[in-house]
Amino acid sequence: MNSSAKKILKNICGVFLISILSVPLVASDKDSHYVVLGAFAIEKNAMNFTNFVKGHDMKANAALHEQTGWYYVYTMNTDDLQAAITLTKQVQQTKDFWDAWVYTGDLRNLGGDPTGDPIVLNSEVPGDDDSQVPVKKESDGSDVEAKTEQTGNSIDTTEDDAENNQAEESEMSNSTSGGDDSNVNGEEGVVSGSEEKQGAGFIINDEKGERRALKLYVNAYNAGNFKEVKGSIEVIDLERTKRISMENTHESIVVADPSNGSGRFQVFCNIFGFKSMQHDLNFEDLYSGEISDVVQLSGDSLIVDMELFRYDVGETHIMYNVFFYKDAAVIKPESQYELNQLLSMLMENPQLRVQLHGHTNGNSMGKIIFPLEEEGDFFTIGDDNKEGKGSSKKLSHARASSIKSYLISKGVAEERMEIEGWGGKKMLYDKHENRARFNVRVEVEILAN
């Protein structure tokens, strides 16, 4: 599909989306509309967030979406959709609830009943474009997870290879131990053909009784507002200093007996936007039912709590999962998740100021392809993109600028972000090494907090 056809399809989809969002405006009076401030997989997190909301002089209640098991925290329940949208627009102006949305459907309250007009921090209704307020009808809940707290002549031929490989591997973003992964069925770290040990739902044995495993659930959450944080974690064998497997937070995972003599293993969490956090655990202790202060038994899983803290002033962190097309300041679509992590960090703290540092692999001249910023499109590359020519320093500056422009389009004030392009001045590795792909990167420096 050529670029013009893509733009036409995009416009059609945009009109269709606005139409969908507008449909509930004529919803039945029998519908219940909730102003939702957060969705949580764990009830404890939802209750902590409820208390956090109440601390802002707002009414709040937690309710269960029975189809999915998700817990919604909301500040208003009404049969007047327009009132719900108006309130949502108000609370979106506060730093902690900028991603509030409207849910239409049925929920089962866990206590309390915040109906009617809650106390809000902003009495003025910003703008009049209701299509900007997410309105979600009752469904299977698949949309909830997204709300829970990723190229002609080359400027440098080695950078071509680095950029082509950059999206294939980003193990440095989480790895501290090195070593090989062993998370294939039948290998260390995974139990296949397993069954639960009777009387202990979190314990899993294989059919032959030769392998033992634990069912864990890593509960990573933002220490500032109790919102759940999704991202990757590593399970590490502490005796062999070897990574056992890569897993995700807020998913049930199976950790096999490391069979390393001591049973010691580590759960390591390094999600962009937060300081790294790790817990050292002992397989034998957990298997025998000795629960530590950071692990709780809930249902058929052991919950490992990981309280995550934002970066400090002066720290600089690499966006390992932000990628660009070759010779371009156009961002690859798979970068959006990590970009939105940065967006959340900035929206959460209005005092936060950052500097974006762009880097390339080597120094050379070549063409530069620019994003379609005028159309608000930072992720499409095709015939309509403008091309120029310049140094690797100019390319790295343009890439940092693309990220800044994307964040501005999402509501971040321009004066809160500075940019710098370094070209190949600060490479991490020699440009001919296998790891040279990691020279192509954008770093975020915390200037004020």
Q: Which CATH architecture has domain 182-308?
A: Sandwich (2.60)
Secondary structure class of 448 (helix, strand, coil): strand
pLDDT at 312: 95
pLDDT at 212: 85
Question: What CA–CA distance (Å, rounded) separates 108 from 103?
Answer: 13
Buried b (16+ CB within 10 A) or exposed e, 411-446: ebeeebbebebbbbeebeeebeeeebbbbbbbbbbb
Question: What CA–CA distance (Å, rounded) separates 262 from 198?
Answer: 25
Percent of the chain with pLDDT over 90: 60
pLDDT at 301: 81
pLDDT at 159: 52
Question: What CA–CA distance (Å, rounded) separates 92 from 114?
Answer: 18
pLDDT at 202: 79
pLDDT at 181: 39
Whether the CB-CB separation of 418 and 356 falls below 8 Å is answered with: yes
Q: How confident is the model at residue 307 (pLDDT cuts 50, 70, 90)?
A: very high
Question: What CA–CA distance (Å, rounded) separates 149 from 229?
Answer: 4
Whether the CB-CB separation of 86 and 122 falls below 8 Å is answered with: no
Once rounded to an integer, what is the mean pLDDT over residues 111-120?
Answer: 47
Query: According to the CATH classification, is domain 157-170+320-448 in 3.90.1640.10?
Result: no
Residue 91 half-sphere exposure toward CB, CA atoms < 13 A: 31
Tens of pLDDT, residue by residue over 399-439, are 999 999 999 999 999 999 999 999 999 999 998 898 999 99
Q: How confident is the model at residue 137 (pLDDT cuts 50, 70, 90)?
A: low
Question: What is the pairing mode between strands 108-109 and 61-65?
Answer: antiparallel
Is residue 165 scored above 50 in pLDDT?
no
Tens of pLDDT, residue by residue over 190-207, are 443 344 443 356 777 766
Q: Which long-range contacts (CB under 8 A, 24 or more apart) does 402-405 make?
A: 402/324, 402/329, 402/330, 402/331, 402/371, 402/373, 402/378, 403/322, 403/331, 403/339, 403/342, 403/356, 403/442, 404/356, 405/371, 405/373, 405/378
Mean pLDDT over each residue of the chain, to the nearest integer: 80
The sign of the CA dihedral 166, 167, 171, 174 is: positive
Is residue 150 scored above 50 in pLDDT?
no
Q: Where are the domains of the chain?
A: 20-147, 157-170+320-448, 182-308
pLDDT at 158: 46
Is residue 213 scored above 80 in pLDDT?
yes
pLDDT at 273: 95
Tens of pLDDT, residue by residue over 256-305, are 999 999 999 999 999 999 999 999 999 999 988 887 788 988 877 899 99
Least trusted range by pLDDT, from 77-86, 158-167, 428-437:
158-167
pLDDT at 324: 96
Tens of pLDDT, residue by residue over 314-370, are 999 999 999 999 999 999 999 999 999 999 999 999 999 999 999 999 888 999 999
pLDDT at 111: 60
Q: How confident is the model at residue 250 (pLDDT cuts 50, 70, 90)?
A: very high
Q: Which residue has the higher pLDDT, 349 or 14?
A: 349
